[in-house]
Chains A and B, each alone.
Chain A
Amino acid sequence: MIVVNGLRKRFGPKTALDGMSFTVAAGQVTGFIGPNGAGKSTTMRVILDLDAADEGTALIDGRRYRSLHRPLTHVGSLLDASALQPSRTARNHLLWLAHSQGLGAGRVDEVLQRVGLSAAARQRAGGFSLGMRQRLGIAAALLGDPRALMLDEPFNGMDPEGIIWMRGFLRALAGEGRAVLVSSHLMSELQDTADHVVVAGRGRVIADATVAELRAAVSDGRVVVRTPSADAGVALIAAGASVIAADGDTLTVVGLAAQDVTAVLAGKGVPFSEVSAHRPSLEEAYVELTRDVVEYRAGDAPEGVR
């Protein structure tokens, strides 16, 4: 279990973390979502003791990363899939990592098999596509058979097949009882993968909930009515609803639940072909939540501030 509590960090005049706090529980995939510059990568670097926080703590099973004996057996991480020496082969890259944890070559071959890189094991990692490097990075994260995994934007550079593989893989890892933290700036990537979502913006958590709770939180009670009759609006307003949009035969109303709308229209004898509660997608929920904290609205500014 990873517990992040009140992290603050400044890079010069810029506040990267502003009281970041959340928990990554075992046995589920926790999505760590936020726009670029929200502090996701910095948080992960602080958890791994790569960056020092000005304030706050990040503990793994109650201990600081730096104090862990053979740390890769506690937390596996993938921050930057290109953080390797390009001239070394994939297998040798994993081999020095294994040796650093007192593990042998047998474990290297196991994880290569698990991520589907056995055939490319003796190729130079520098020649790998980003998708293959992501797989190699996952293999490195799994090397110590850790109880917690932390992956920064693992979907980056993956082809559709790779994305499907990654989703299933993350679910399987959580199914094995591991705590899995996965960051992304795209909610859609995590929609069907994450059990729990931590939404970050401007260095702090702005929502920390299950996927269902998150949807409900931004659901605004809008009901969509499809009707050929011009009397529908009048009937609904009389019953206490407000019509907030009308477009051809479609009305959007608030103030009445869907079943009440159906009852009112049926009671007045107004014909209708559809009454449905508007359900925001996770993407809409996310956009709604992060509306005020998106730093770079246009363009795709790089993550981080250095």
Chain B
Amino acid sequence: MRTALHAEWTKLRTSPATIWLLLAAVTLTAGVSAAAAATIPCKTAACLGDPAQISLTGVQLGQAVVVILAVLAVSGEHATGMIRTSLTAVPRRSTLLAAKAVAVTGVTMVTATVAVGTSVLAGRLLLPGSGYTAAHGFTPLSPTDGPTLRAAGGSMLYLCLIALLAVGVATVVRDTGASIGVMLALLYLVPIVTQALTDPDWKRHLQQATPTAGLAIQATRHLDTVAIPPWHGLAVLAAWAAGALLAAAVLIRTRDT
């Protein structure tokens, strides 16, 4: 496993696309977060804005780049046939899958740390200008604040779980376009459809059961009104990732390549 992991790390490191995707993930996450912090206003002490959540808005776009990175790491090998070279080097297929999942998750964790850290810093600097001031009852955004730390750290975990889900889906689907399509549908189309539902019970159930329930980890205010508590939401996403990886582990062992 150690050598397989070393090989997967070398693959990621020596693929020219990796560095650009990581830079894109950081830039998009921090950029969108900063834009949200600078533009979502708080005009009175009674405003409903959640400073931590606002400053982590960019995660919703950054996750798309994480998906592309994770999918390419898997399906890119199927597109070129390199998967056969990989399997001759590491013939124990579950070892290959695990090594790939760990390498992609590790790179995602480092990227997420930078992206989320920058986002929180941007929020701390920009939110007061939007009205999240002491006068309206807000303290500056700080990672020493328990809920803020949970929202920020949880967002990093969220991105890692998205990467794991994408590795699982791409291992099952194998085709790059189809894998990215499935992932983007889960992350963007399903929430839109959910929003459009008129039946409040169905709406709540879907919000609780789909992968984006994991974004609940970002909520720090009005926790009594959210569809699912923060850690429960992250656990739902973890279950999705585990399910996808389990399906991947079964299929990669039984399929011809």
Contacts and interface: CB of A to CB of B under 8 A. Distances in A.
Interface of A: 45, 48-52, 65-66, 68, 70-72, 77, 79-80, 82-89, 92, 95-97, 99-102, 140
B81 A80 contact: yes
Given A88-B15, A99-B6, A50 B87 contact: yes
A305 B81 CA distance: 16
A129 to B, nearest CB: 17
Nearest to B10: A96
Nearest to B14: A92
19 contacts: A45-B256, A50-B87, A50-B257, A71-B88, A71-B89, A72-B89, A80-B81, A83-B81, A85-B15, A85-B77, A88-B14, A95-B10, A96-B7, A96-B8, A96-B14, A97-B7, A99-B9, A99-B10, A101-B89
- Interface of chain B, helix or strand or loop or mixed? helix
Given A80-B81, A83-B82, A86-B80, A95 B88 contact: no
Contacts of B185: none
A153 to B, nearest CB: 14
Instruction: Please provide the 8 A-B residue pairs with the shortest distance between their CB atoms, ordered closest to farther.
Output: A100-B7, A92-B14, A83-B81, A96-B10, A100-B89, A99-B6, A51-B256, A66-B91
Interface residues of B, number: 30
B149 interface: no
A97 B9 CA distance: 11
A83 B10 contact: no
B16 interface: yes
Contacts of A65: 91
A45 B81 CA distance: 13
Given A49-B87, A68-B91, A88-B14, 4 more contacts: A48-B88, A50-B88, A79-B84, A83-B80
Interface in B208-252: none
A50 B89 CA distance: 11
B57 to A, nearest CB: 33
Contacts of B80: 82-86
Nearest to B85: A83
Given A51-B257, A52-B256, A82-B80, A72 B14 contact: no
